[in-house]
């Protein structure tokens, strides 16, 4: 999946969404963001990459952007939007 992909339904009944997050600068930042988003209902995996500011989320259904925003905020960062 490329950064240009907004939300994509996968064949296994999951949805993959790439978000842009500002302020991440290290592995600890990636872990904090991943942990908060992973706690959202329906999320099966999260991969945060500090160098690009991208966070790839795989979930059972599309997530409410405000829920993702709140999780990222709780981790101490800012959700810019979808990549």
Per-residue pLDDT tens digits for 14-54: 999 999 999 999 999 999 999 999 999 999 999 999 999 99
Is residue 11 pLDDT above 60, yes or no? no
Residue 1's pLDDT band, with cuts at 50, 70 and 90, is very low
pTM of the predicted model, to two decimals? 0.85
What is the predicted pLDDT for the residue at 19? 98
What is the predicted pLDDT for the residue at 27? 97
From the list 69, 67, 74, the residue with the least C-alpha distance to 32 is 74
CA separation, residue 74 to residues 4, 10, 12, 13, 80 (Å): 26, 28, 30, 28, 14
Domains assigned to the chain: 23-82 (3.30.70.100)
Distance (Å, rounded) from C-alpha 10 to C-alpha 32? 26
What is the predicted pLDDT for the residue at 9? 56
Q: Which residue(s) pair with 36 in the sheet?
A: none
């Amino acid at each position: 999946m490329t950064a240009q992909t907004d939300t994509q339904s996968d064949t296994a009944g999951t949805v993959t969404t790439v978000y842009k997050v500002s302020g991440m600068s290290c592995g600890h930042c990636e872990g904090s963001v991943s942990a908060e988003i992973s706690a959202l209902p329906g999320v099966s995996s999260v991969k945060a990459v500090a160098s690009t500011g991208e966070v790839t989320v795989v979930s059972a259904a599309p997530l409410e952007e405000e829920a993702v925003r709140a999780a990222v905020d709780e981790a101490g960062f800012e959700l810019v939007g979808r990549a």
